[in-house]
Chain A
Amino acid sequence: MTANEIKIKSGNSATAILGKIVRNQLFIPLVALLLLIAFNLITDPGFFKIALEPNSDGNMVLSGNLITMIDYASELVILAIGMTLVTSASGGQDISVGATIAIAGSTVLRIVKTQSPNISGAKFAGIIIVSFLLCVVVSAIFGAFNGALVAFFKIQPMVATLILFTAGRSIAAWINNNDNISITDKRFSYFGNFIPGISVPTPVFITILCLIIIAIILKVTNLRLYSQAVGINASSSRLNGINPKVIKLLTFVILGVCVAVCGFIKVSRTSSITYSVIANNIEMDAILAVALGGNNLGGGKFNLSASVLGAYVIQFLTTTLYKFKEIDSSSISAYKAVVVILLIIISSPFVRRWIDDMKNKREAARKGSADLAMAEAAVDSALNNIESETEKENV
């Protein structure tokens, strides 16, 4: 039996299809999601109830755990997009995103706070657009700073972004002279909460928009191919005519734009900013989302949908843990850590290799026994032949 035959034979069996599903990158986040859903359904059957209720402003809005989860996952999903690209191209992670979100949010508030609360809609829209564009530019510049350190000075991404991680929140405070700003204009909070008349939270729309944009970019341009090539082997991609430095810089700038969108949503949610607390630890969650999606943190191939799914799983986990009233909000991280370690162990190359080894051994054993049976059969038939021949001779 040749190897090809084995493949054809097992290709039809159910185990092979199962194996294909298990090996799919989306498998682990999906299973984690299903486990979380099952767990929640068992402990609280009303967990997924969605209701249409009037909120404090008198709008009819959707409310429920599921809506909260999807709403609050928006920032994480948008960050996960940029983080996946950075991870793929540079083989490292940006740990300064939380601090850069603070800078972006501070920039937005710096512009918006100057307007009076009673200006007309068109003027207000103008101010919002200007502030948003400015915060995109600022974040992109900070992204380019990180990217330049990584690409041109060959500093490890985690260390290069350590600079902004240390100084970022201070820069954010410096932009607004450490003032406590709160915007009284209700229209400003539309982007982080609900627009009157629409019962779905606005961040969900922004997230969908971002996902569509990145999908189009990946479809139309060669960004996916180039960043993967740079991540797998920078020098060979250079020999093939790709400029790895530019690609690395580009991914960091894209992450900067993602961060700007996150910062805008974050400050719009509360209409205010606390420099030291805003988007605290979000960099860790974003990296975990990428890792949970089964992407190699050392760079190379990536699967964006897996990262996005991973981001939702992380947020789902957080929401689930928050549900237990007896758990202190700050001790959630301990439970999160246990889950994360388990997930890493399951998805680690070491365990996968071990499983493959076991499978190979089993197959080899089966094959060995099959060979033995064939050999026995051959011996039997040979013996039979000899016997029959001797009988003939005797006759």
Chain B
Amino acid sequence: MSVNYSALDSKLKRQRRASLTDTNLLLIITIIVFLVMYFCAVIFLKKGFTKPQMFFNILNENASLLVLSCGMTLVMITGGIDISVGQVTCLVCMSCAVHLQKVNEGLAFGNVFTSLLIALAIGLAFGIIQGALVAYLEFQPFIVTLAGLFFAKGMTTIVCSDRVPVTYDPFVKLARTEVTIPFLGSVNKKGIYIPAYVEVGVLVALAVVVILFCLLRWTKLGRNFYAVGGNNQSANMLGINVKRTKFLAHVLCGLCAGIGGYLFFLHACSGSPLHAQGAEMNAIASSIIGGTLLSGGVGNIVGTLFGVLSLSTIKNIVTSLGLEDAWWTNITVGVMLCIFLLVQSVILARKNKNKK
């Protein structure tokens, strides 16, 4: 019996193309939207958008949000959600700030490294406890992380209820370190060439993005995340430890919240109960814009990166349009989120129809 290899091959190719249209379409849409938005801003607005530094400032300001969103994407791929990350960020900032101020006054032993350890420990603790409650005790992720949000919020004010600026020298030096980008820069009014720069936090954030991208793409754990999110029961039947996978997703998200919190701290150089307000919602919005489905099983770290960039670009555009009232940014973000959700829902509906 002969097999028609060419027919089989073309069928496989068609399948591959079909899978591209289903899942990667969301990613492609996000990237296109971001590029179109940015080029429109460069062409029509000009105000600063022509300078490369504008782009890097977006990164500088959103390094922490980027890491938070990546963690959120992991949890969302497994079909869960973590709304505590914003307040965990706030708690991390406050704890590190108080710690470093005590070190500065000579009341406690420590340095920049110990503050980083504190940040990671807080993030991990939240991740492990919430993950255990969600995965092994089968509580609803929303309620568990809601309690986590409350707890972190209260703990922040228990640690200190005022704004704590950090004056510890080595830390301030680290925070002010600027990494210049070669061959990119702009000339200011006096004709002096200013090279573009990024802060240290951006490099860390990009490293996290790369690591998580590799994790999702090429490791067994990463594939398990998708399998668990796509279909819980069939993942279980395939021999995947569903509970452990969910647990690990939450732990990684907690760790990301710790890192993101430290990056926020690095950027703000202070601790305050008002830091990172609503960061969890921004992170969720970025992930959704980046093509992660809340129903689980679909998502991409690169998409999340572009989600964060799109979100902050539109904020910058709104500000530079002269609509400086704070409400316009929120309304545009809301509208953008709405559009992306509608697109997602249409694509999902089409996908379901194809299956039938």
Is B181's CB within 8 Å of the partner chain A? no
Is A36's CB within 8 Å of the partner chain B? no
Nearest CB in chain A: distance from B351 CB, A = 12
Picked from A162, A166, A298, A344, the residue with its CB within 8 Å of the CB of B147 is A344
Bound CA–CA A167/B339 (angstroms): 14
Q: Which of A67-75, A151-159, A230-238 contacts B (4 or more CB under 8 A)?
A: A151-159
A163 lies within 8 A of B294 (CB): no
Q: Which of B37-45, B152-160, B210-218, B246-254 contacts A (4 or more CB under 8 A)?
A: B152-160
Give the residue among A156, A163, A164, A165 with the most B Cβ atoms within 10 A. A163
Count of chain A residues with a beta carbon within 8 Å of a chain B beta carbon: 46
Picked from B284, B331, B345, the residue with its CB within 8 Å of the CB of A162 is B284
Count of chain B residues with a beta carbon within 8 Å of a chain A beta carbon: 48
Bound CA–CA A335/B285 (angstroms): 29
Is B56's CB within 8 Å of the partner chain A? no
Bound CA–CA A174/B326 (angstroms): 10
Is A332's CB within 8 Å of the partner chain B? yes
Nearest CB in chain B: distance from A115 CB, A = 26
A163 lies within 8 A of B338 (CB): yes
Cβ < 8 Å to B, chain A residues 83-113: 93
Nearest CB in chain A: distance from B69 CB, A = 14
Nearest CB in chain A: distance from B33 CB, A = 17
B345 lies within 8 A of A155 (CB): yes
Nearest to A340 among chain B residues (CB) is B147
Is B150's CB within 8 Å of the partner chain A? yes
Nearest CB in chain B: distance from A286 CB, A = 11
Picked from B139, B278, B285, the residue with its CB within 8 Å of the CB of A344 is B139
Count of A-B contacts with CB under 8 A? 136
Contact residues in B for A287 (Cβ distance below 8 Å): 142-143, 146
Contact residues in A for B187 (Cβ distance below 8 Å): none
B333 lies within 8 A of A166 (CB): yes
Is B203's CB within 8 Å of the partner chain A? no
Bound CA–CA A348/B294 (angstroms): 23
Give the residue among B146, B288, B328, B333 with the most A Cβ atoms within 10 A. B146
Name A's B-contacting residues (CB within 8 A).
93, 149, 153-156, 158-160, 162-171, 173-174, 178, 284, 287-288, 291, 297-298, 328, 330-338, 340-341, 344-345, 348-351
- 25 A-B pairs with CB atoms under 8 Å apart are A154-B349, A155-B344, A156-B294, A160-B341, A162-B285, A163-B338, A166-B334, A166-B337, A168-B334, A169-B330, A171-B327, A173-B327, A178-B325, A288-B143, A297-B140, A297-B142, A331-B155, A334-B153, A334-B157, A335-B154, A340-B143, A340-B146, A340-B150, A344-B143, A350-B138
